[in-house]
Amino acid sequence: MNHPVFTPSVSIPSARLAETDPELSCLLAAETARQRDKIRLIASENYASAAVREACSSHLTNQYSEGYPGARYYEGQQIVDQVERLAIARAKELFGAEHVNVQPYSGSPANLAVYLAFLKPGETVLAMRLAHGGHLTHGSKVSITGKHWNVVQYGLDPETKRLDYDAIRALALEHRPKLLIAGHSAYPRQIDFAAFRAIADEVGSLLMVDMAHFAGLVAAGAHPSPVPFADVVTTTTHKSLRGPRGAMILCRAEHAAKIDKAVFPGLQGGPHNAITAAIAVALKEALQPDFAEYGRQCVANARALAERLIEHGFDIVTGGTDNHLVLVDLRSKGIAGKPLAAALDRAGLVANYNSVPWDDRPPQDPSGLRLGTPSMTTRGFREGEFRQVADWIAGIVASGLDEDVIARISAEALALASSFPMP
């Protein structure tokens, strides 16, 4: 059965672009329509505001600025220095950080900069296992971080599927890591940063927290902040923070020189100045009262989604969520994550397949599905809409991925998405 066609029924992004490159212009219009017409449930995605996107496309993209404010290697930096200082000041205010570097190109280079700043090749790192919710740059063997450092990995408790701080402490005492990493990309619970700090102090390690996924929740006051506990905190500036595709490193003042040197000239040259400006805009937006309501609603929506899926008989890793994401273990349903994610996309529900703890399937075709609430919370979804999303997911699974059911839900999802305009 035919599915609704998501046609680029929006205006061409720019008359100049349409004239210069009509082929690309049409592709961008189609992508705008896709983001408008589908219900986006990928935990690492969001909608940047028009102001953030305008800053991304500003004339600052023409400017090269190796170095830091007041210490550049090129002339003509009078405005750029002010822009970068503004972004830094807002990040300090928002997160209570002593020092902030806003130049990393993305989250992975930001994490790598921490390794470069504090570690020699071969030194020991203790970090969360990728299959249990960690990130590639937390020492996965396929990442440079797993190839150049001795990475010991901790995981979840087999019964609770939650972090076992006693087990983490035992590993730390055994291996004496130089760097202890907390943070995740697919763990649906809050982290006890005080417990990590205590472990780091006991074994004499530095503590890094990767808050890329939940930085927006921290900014909104909907999630505990790692900043008072960690030596250094890394984060992307998109995801739940709702900014452009960039990153920041927040650290204690005593580590500022090492972090700055690791970013530049250690890993990269000139920063992307237009992105720095967009980060400044996003940080100002995050300082506004309505951002706090958005953050609280992200968490409330994720809980509603998880609870309704449990009612439908789905296994939710850890039995629920404290943040913006829900990790579904599909093994009891007899279906893998990849075919379900593809079916959901055909139904207008965009999610990603994901490994679950102790997964017996390969990462390319795992047993889980990861769902997130930031994008649709930005568009105005509340608990009722996310319960409807759970009902649709359950209906598709119960049907055995029947194409008639998928087509029906696709039309219903399009109608619901149309009621909540994107920024």
What DSSP assignment string belongs to 346-415?
HTTEE-EEE--TT-SS-TTS-SEEEEE-HHHHHTT--HHHHHHHHHHHHHHHHTTS-HHHHHHHHHHHHH
Judge if 367 and 232 occupy the same domain.
no
- 120 is a catalytic site residue: no
Q: Is residue 42 part of a domain?
A: no
What is the separation of C-alpha 95 from the centre of its chain, rounded to a whole number of angstroms? 17
> Which entry of 72, 85, 92, 245 is annotated as an active-site residue?
245
- 245 is a catalytic site residue: yes
Q: Per residue in 223-233, pLDDT tens? A: 999 999 999 99
pLDDT, the chain, mean: 95
Q: Is residue 202 part of a domain?
A: yes
Identity of the residue numbered 399: S
> Which entry of 45, 66, 157, 391 is annotated as an active-site residue?
66
> Which entry of 210, 285, 315, 322 is annotated as an active-site residue?
210
> Which entry of 34, 64, 261, 383 is annotated as an active-site residue?
64
Judge if 253 and 352 occupy the same domain.
no
Please state, in angstroms and as integers, the Cα–Cα distance from residue 419 to each residue in 291, 304, 413, 414, 415, following that order.
21, 20, 10, 9, 7
- 66 is a catalytic site residue: yes
- 165 is a catalytic site residue: no
Q: Is residue 45 part of a domain?
A: no
Phi, psi for 251 (deg, rounded to 5): -155, 170
Judge if 147 and 163 occupy the same domain.
yes
Domain residue limits at 186: 54-286
> What is the count of structural domains for the chain?
2
Judge if 375 and 294 occupy the same domain.
yes
The percentage of residues in the chain with a pLDDT greater than 70, rounded to a whole number, is: 97
- Quick one: pLDDT band at residue 60, thresholds 50, 70, 90? very high
Q: Is residue 74 part of a domain?
A: yes
Q: Exposure of 231 by Cβ count < 10 A (0-12 exposed, 13-18 middle, 19+ buried)?
A: buried
- Strand extents, DSSP E, 110-173: 124-128, 150-154
Residue 248 tokens read as 């920041």
CB 209 within 8 A of CB 183: yes
- Quick one: pLDDT band at residue 154, thresholds 50, 70, 90? very high
Contacts of 75 (CB under 8 A, 6+ apart): none
Judge if 352 and 396 occupy the same domain.
yes
- 346 is a catalytic site residue: no
Query: Of 286, 319, 347, which closes a domain?
Result: 286
pTM listed for this prediction: 0.94
Q: Is residue 98 part of a domain?
A: yes
Query: Of 286, 302, 330, which closes a domain?
Result: 286
Q: Is residue 115 part of a domain?
A: yes
What's the pLDDT at 330? 98
Q: Cα separation of 185 and 68, whole Å?
A: 30
- 239 is a catalytic site residue: yes
Query: Of 226, 259, 286, which closes a domain?
Result: 286
> Which entry of 137, 145, 234, 236 is annotated as an active-site residue?
236
> Which entry of 239, 242, 379, 408 is annotated as an active-site residue?
239
Q: Which of 14-18, 123-127, 258-262, 392-396 has the lowest mean pLDDT?
A: 14-18
